[in-house]
Structure 1
Amino acid sequence: MQPQTVQALAIVAVLCAFGLAELAQRRFFPSEATREDNRLDIAVTLLFPLISGAVLAASTALCAWLIPAQRDALAHWPVWQMLLVLLLADDLTQYFWHRLSHTSVMWPLHRAHHSAAYMSVRIVYRNNAFYYALMPGLWLSGVLLYMGFGWVYVGYTIVKLTVIIGAHSAVRWDQWLYRYRVLRPVAWVVERLISTPATHFAHHALVQDDGVGHYTGNYGNLLFLWDVLFGTAHITRRYPPAYGLTDDRAHGPEPWLAQFVYPLKRSRRAETVLGSSSHAPPK
């Protein structure tokens, strides 16, 4: 079986597992979801594999043109070295890409991820298409695949996406670590090492002045350790009471297509960052 097939099947299995758990808890169809939310969630989930696949393919094609002699040049590296490089080239760059996306210029490409007034596996890939098309980590991953990271990259992405899916899921798996005193030392390590529902839900909070919400931090994807190291971590072991964006509460939801492909499609809403050259910062 080809590596890409194994990767796709594993990720679909993880998405389905968390999705079924949300269904069992009656959280997969949140009452907060609007028609625009439903359309955007479906479109992004279906098209993300095509977008990310196109970026990886383009990256490897550029390598074949520019550095043909480097094909599989690093295939002899031990697994631990490949994993370290992937953490730096993919996950660390994504931390900074995510952090940059909360500035005024980049915010329109990331706004869709925060416009959902709910947490769920439905929003894992919910971003503007250009957010992924320009993501440095995807382009660098294509280079590393060309240079021989193959199966190690597949294993890495399965683990990473399992963590990311779990951090967005309404299942809130980390609450079990907080509930039992014997697990609290484990929780202390886990919540500082990887993204968890409590820390990532805080990043999606509607407000930041309640001691729980922290949308100006908790940017980590696989490793929350980056937030700890760079001073953007906020750990409370609590979950925000509300999610989404204040401008949507005031003016109504943005059209799903404008959120997905801006600036190719612009919003006609009176107050918007998706319809003019004025890109106000988030919140």
Structure 2
Amino acid sequence: MNPLQNILLLGILLTFALLEWRSGRYKDFGATRDDTKLEAAMLLALLALLQPGIFFITGKLGAWLMPEQRNAWAHLPAWAMFGILLVADDLTQYWWHRLSHTPLLWPLHRAHHTAHYMSIRITYRNNFFYYAMMPGIWMSGILIYLGFANVYLVYVVLKLTVIMGAHSAVRWDEPFYKHRWLHPVAWVLERTISTPATHWAHHALTNEDGIGHYKGNFGNLLFVWDLIFGSAKITRQYPARVGLQDDLIYGKERWFTEMFYPVIQSKREHSALAPGGRANAVEETDPARVLAKG
């Protein structure tokens, strides 16, 4: 893996962190030590272990199974490589994300929604195995073996900028909604890429306010996938609160349980991270249903 990727990633992180610090919104996070441990551990695990490990494995498998194909697609124009990456990485991640909101895979994605604040710090807040099995990372590793390395660097930097911007506490899209003369630009932006308004809705504590959209807005880089597959909701508003209702009722899980489930399982009452636990993401957004289950 190109070390330049991590240097650029850290640069993007620091830029957004500075913007959040200057905005003062970080004071409202109320993050716990477990929040910080989970977010830091997953960021390090993804950058230092999972992504380079997957790229190493796909490179070795490529050299073993199809040695003649190394850099075989390097002759493709950059625009074609970029388009292939959008399908192989971003579209597959849309479906991986969407499937992770079903009972089967929800425990591997739940950690991303347990944050009760929006910030760049939660961008990679997830279960270890959520990323270990993510199809897009494996597909990207194969494409790098086929000769996409340089274009992938540009692609991933663009994607990470959009994703971090969508999670950021700084609502950079808000001015586009406030000023009428910018509405045409907003119309294009919110239908092309993930923005704070559309992605915050996905993290909303409830859908009852007409803003939250827990069952949709799954896109990462492109929001176009949500439009195509019928999971989009655009309100140009931001939910008042984010997180999970059952955490408010039963208390939050420990950071190592969220990160390493199912290797480590929960001892909390009514947990989706326990043997036989309820793993229904939809029910977790409705306090009446959660209480009924209790």
Query: Which stretch of the first structure deviates more once superposed, 219-228 or 38-47?
Result: 38-47
Residue by residue over 1:75-113, the C-alpha shift from the partner in whole angstroms, topping out at 9 and shown as x without a partner, is 000011101100000000000000000000100000000
Please name the residue that 1:37 is paired with: 35
Counterpart selection for 1:8 from 6, 9, 19: 6
Query: Which stretch of the first structure deviates more once superposed, 34-43 or 211-220?
Result: 34-43
Residue by residue over 1:191-248, the C-alpha shift from the partner in whole angstroms, topping out at 9 and shown as x without a partner, is 0000000000000000012100001000000000000111100000000000000110
Please name the residue that 1:48 is paired with: 46
Normalization by structure 2: what TM-score?
0.93
The answer to whether the Cα contact below 8 Å between 1:19 and 1:28 also exists between their aligned partners in 2 is: no
Residue by residue over 1:145-169, the C-alpha shift from the partner in whole angstroms, topping out at 9 and shown as x without a partner, is 0000011000000000000000000
Please name the residue that 1:125 is paired with: 124
Query: Which stretch of the first structure deviates more once superposed, 165-174 or 60-69?
Result: 60-69
The offset of 1:279, in angstroms, is 4.1
Please name the residue that 2:62 is paired with: 63
The 2-side partners of 1:60 and 1:209 are apart by 47
CA separation of 1:214 and 1:76: change in aligned 2, threshold 3 A: same
Q: Can you give the 5+ residue segments of structure 1 that lack an aligned partner in the other structure? A: none
The offset of 1:17, in angstroms, is 0.3
The answer to whether the Cα contact below 8 Å between 1:107 and 1:281 also exists between their aligned partners in 2 is: yes
The answer to whether the Cα contact below 8 Å between 1:218 and 1:224 also exists between their aligned partners in 2 is: yes
Residue by residue over 1:31-86, the C-alpha shift from the partner in whole angstroms, topping out at 9 and shown as x without a partner, is 43222212211211222202122112112211111111100000000011101100
Please name the residue that 1:26 is paired with: 24
Please name the residue that 2:247 is paired with: 248
Counterpart of 1:260 in structure 2: which amino acid?
Answer: M
Query: What is the aligned-residue RMSD (CA, Å)?
Result: 1.1
Residue by residue over 1:106-150, the C-alpha shift from the partner in whole angstroms, topping out at 9 and shown as x without a partner, is 000000000000000110000001000000010010000000001
The 2-side partners of 1:29 and 1:94 are apart by 32
The 1-side partners of 2:2 and 2:276 are apart by 39
The answer to whether the Cα contact below 8 Å between 2:82 and 2:151 also exists between their aligned partners in 1 is: yes
Please name the residue that 2:212 is paired with: 213
CA separation of 1:64 and 1:30: change in aligned 2, threshold 3 A: farther
Counterpart of 1:142 in structure 2: which amino acid?
Answer: G
The answer to whether the Cα contact below 8 Å between 2:270 and 2:277 also exists between their aligned partners in 1 is: no
The 2-side partners of 1:93 and 1:232 are apart by 15
The 1-side partners of 2:241 and 2:40 are apart by 22
CA separation of 1:25 and 1:135: change in aligned 2, threshold 3 A: same
Please name the residue that 1:92 is paired with: 91
Please name the residue that 1:73 is paired with: 72
CA separation of 1:177 and 1:101: change in aligned 2, threshold 3 A: same
Counterpart of 2:24 in structure 1: which amino acid?
Answer: R
The 2-side partners of 1:61 and 1:250 are apart by 47
The answer to whether the Cα contact below 8 Å between 1:105 and 1:279 also exists between their aligned partners in 2 is: no
> Aligned residues, how many?
281
Counterpart of 1:87 in structure 2: which amino acid?
Answer: L
Higher relative contact order (CA 8 A, sep 6+): 1
Identity in percent: 53
The 2-side partners of 1:58 and 1:9 are apart by 22
The 2-side partners of 1:224 and 1:178 are apart by 17
The offset of 1:29, in angstroms, is 4.9
Counterpart of 2:30 in structure 1: which amino acid?
Answer: E
Please name the residue that 1:162 is paired with: 161
Is 2:229 the counterpart of 1:230?
yes
